[in-house]
Structure formats: C-alpha cells, structure tokens
C-alpha cells in the first residue's frame, strides 16, 4: 500500500495532482483500514499523506511540495526488515 502511495506522488507535479486525487484518497482510506492493528503509530506517518490530500483538494500550491516531500520521506510505521 505504501508503495502505491509513493508511486502516485513520487514525480507528481502540482499541475497534475488533481488527476491523482481519487487514487490518493482510495490508498489513504485503505491504509487507515489496514493499519488498525498499529494504533497510534500510524498517525504521524498518515498525517503527511492526509495533508497532501487536503492541499490537492483545496488547490493549495503553497504547501503541496512540502507535504509531498514529507510524505515520501516519512519512516514507515510498520515492522519490516532493517527498521524498528
């Protein structure tokens, strides 16, 4: 799921962001459903994605790039090899 989120915005220009909004919204909803077992650990990771979603919804170009970079740089909240 995280890979899908990342691929949707990896090289996304602000001019094309509205086209990715439905996919971004679906992926964020999926993460919220699947991450229930992680409790509060998901909140910091998900927050940047939600802020990016809001920036796109409101065509707020002033924060789009900031939240795009923050979301891409966030450490995963789930257990995986090499981290946590």
Domain of residue 63, residue span = 2-73
pLDDT tens by residue, 17-69:
999 999 999 999 998 888 887 888 889 999 999 999 999 999 999 999 999 99
Asked whether residue 9 is assigned to any structural domain, the reply reads yes
If one counts every other C-beta atom within 10 angstroms of the C-beta of residue 23, the result is 14
Asked whether residue 82 is assigned to any structural domain, the reply reads no
Question: How many folded domains does the chain comprise?
Answer: 1
Asked whether residue 83 is assigned to any structural domain, the reply reads no
Asked whether residue 53 is assigned to any structural domain, the reply reads yes
Res 81 pLDDT > 80: no
Structure-token pair, residue 56 = 């796109």
Asked whether residue 29 is assigned to any structural domain, the reply reads yes
pLDDT tens by residue, 68-80:
999 999 888 876 6
Interatomic CA distance for residues 23 and 83, integer angstroms: 27
């Amino acid at each position: 799921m995280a890979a899908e989120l990342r691929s949707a915005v990896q090289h996304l220009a602000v001019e094309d962001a509205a086209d990715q909004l439905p996919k971004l919204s679906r992926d964020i909803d999926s993460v919220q459903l699947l991450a229930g077992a992680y409790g509060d650990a998901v909140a910091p990771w998900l927050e940047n994605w939600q802020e990016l979603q809001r920036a796109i919804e409101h065509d707020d170009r002033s924060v789009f790039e900031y939240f795009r970079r923050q979301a891409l740089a966030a450490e995963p909240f789930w257990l995986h090899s090499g981290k946590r």
